[in-house]
Amino acid sequence: MKYSKALPLIAVILTAFCIQCSVAKANEQCMTPDRANGQCRNLVECPQLLQLLRNTNRSPQQTQYLQQSMCDQIGSLVYVCCKVESVAGARATSNLLPSTRDCGKSFDNRIHGGNVTRIDEYPWLALIEYTKPGNIKNFFCGGSLINKRYVLTAAHCVTGRALQTNVPTGVRLGEWDRSTTQDCERLANNRLDCADPHLDIGIEEIIAHPQYNENAANRLYDIALIRLERDIEYTHFISPVCLPMAEEMRSKTFDAMKMDVTGFGATETGTSSNLKLKAAVDAWTNADCRQKYAARRIYLQNSQICAGGEAGIDSCTGDSGGPLVVRQRLDNRDVYVLAGIVSFGPKQCATAGWPGVYTRVGAYADWILQNIKP
């Protein structure tokens, strides 16, 4: 298993002596230093230039090319003029993601109350296994299956000081009741509905967003990919969630929409439930949530979603790194879309009036496409 380590992106490298920088604003069309058509994009979303920046043996001419590629800067975010074919190449990998025929299917349609899911609901939910010295294993975070090889989770679940003793070593899929070997649910007619055995699979690679900073109070870029050691097969109890890849979905903020957060309540504190849980939460407007957290000197961005704030639910139900999903109509199908990833919340989970904060997946659509492979 290998880790893609966080890359320090130093704006000084690009801005120094930047006399002939490309002039454009974020997401606008631009011209590269070698006169090719491009788009002004966040540096981490341009694989070609990101690779050049990582190259410590680059020539003076390559450094100059990097400097002249800079087209905008928003706070600490550096934008570069990225060749169109580089952007298109990243989006071409979207064929590695399942179609709406195969994603976002939550099979249960029975009416029921309570916060415990049915045995076949939310089949994309994953648990991340950690191993500490003495070969002691436990589950502290969640994630979402997005295709046959990748699980999407939070960067804070797979990188940082807290993981020096608890190392992520595996992923569990298809779990419903952690206290039993065979998961079975007793139906109203007293018949048992039993699931396939859960699947434990090793981790081949962990890719945390290079701009994630565990010391930042607002936890920007709190997103990571886990590449499994082999492809898995979809079943009734293990299948992927849909991602917000369409242009109109990438920028959607889901203001005031009803959403579902699911998990075992697994967090860094180790508290959790044996049964898979769910809770309905309402998304806040970005403006309202920014104002709320700014009072605590935590400054949120458009790449985050706030939801919940009702006593006793939301972040107490979801796992760190777990899914926040919303029902959407895509390609004439009603499917669940992964809107957010559980990131952080008030110190006392599910405090009334304080929403949980989630990484907005649509803001990282290109980053996901650029970092998955067959």
Return the structure tokens found at 78.
């550096």
Please report where in the chains the tokens 């939550």 appear, as a residue: 106
The beta strands (E) that lie in the chain are given as: 2-4, 29-31, 37-42, 70-74, 77-83, 125-132, 136-145, 150-153, 167-173, 184-186, 192-194, 199-208, 224-228, 258-263, 277-282, 304-307, 323-330, 333-344, 356-360
Give every CB contact of residue 283 below 8 A, 6+ residues apart in sequence: 253, 254, 255, 256, 257, 259, 305, 306, 307, 339
Q: What is the pLDDT of residue 21?
A: 52
> What's the mean pLDDT when you consider all of the chain?
84
Q: Report CA torsion sign: 114, 115, 120, 122.
A: positive
Helix 47-54 and helix 84-92, axial crossing angle in degrees, nearest 10: 100
Q: What is the pLDDT of residue 279?
A: 87
Better-predicted residue by pLDDT, 151 or 92: 151
Q: What is the pLDDT of residues 259-275, one digit of tens each?
A: 999 988 855 445 678 88
Give residue 64's pLDDT band: very low, low, confident or very high (50, 70, 90): confident
Give every CB contact of residue 177 below 8 A, 6+ residues apart in sequence: 183, 274, 275, 276
Q: What is the pLDDT of residues 170-222, one digit of tens each?
A: 999 999 998 888 888 888 888 888 989 999 999 999 999 988 999 999 999 99
Q: What is the pLDDT of residue 85?
A: 53
Give residue 4's pLDDT band: very low, low, confident or very high (50, 70, 90): very low
pTM of the predicted model, to two decimals?
Answer: 0.76
Q: What is the pLDDT of residue 18?
A: 46
What element of type H or E holds 92?
helix 84-92
Domains plus CATH for the chain?
8-94 (3.30.1640.30), 97-371 (2.40.10.10)
Q: What number is the average pLDDT over the span 49-59? A: 81
How many angstroms separate the CA atoms of 124 and 260, rounded? 13
Active site residues: 156, 222, 320
How many angstroms separate the CA atoms of 253 and 257, rounded? 9
Q: What is the pLDDT of residue 313?
A: 63
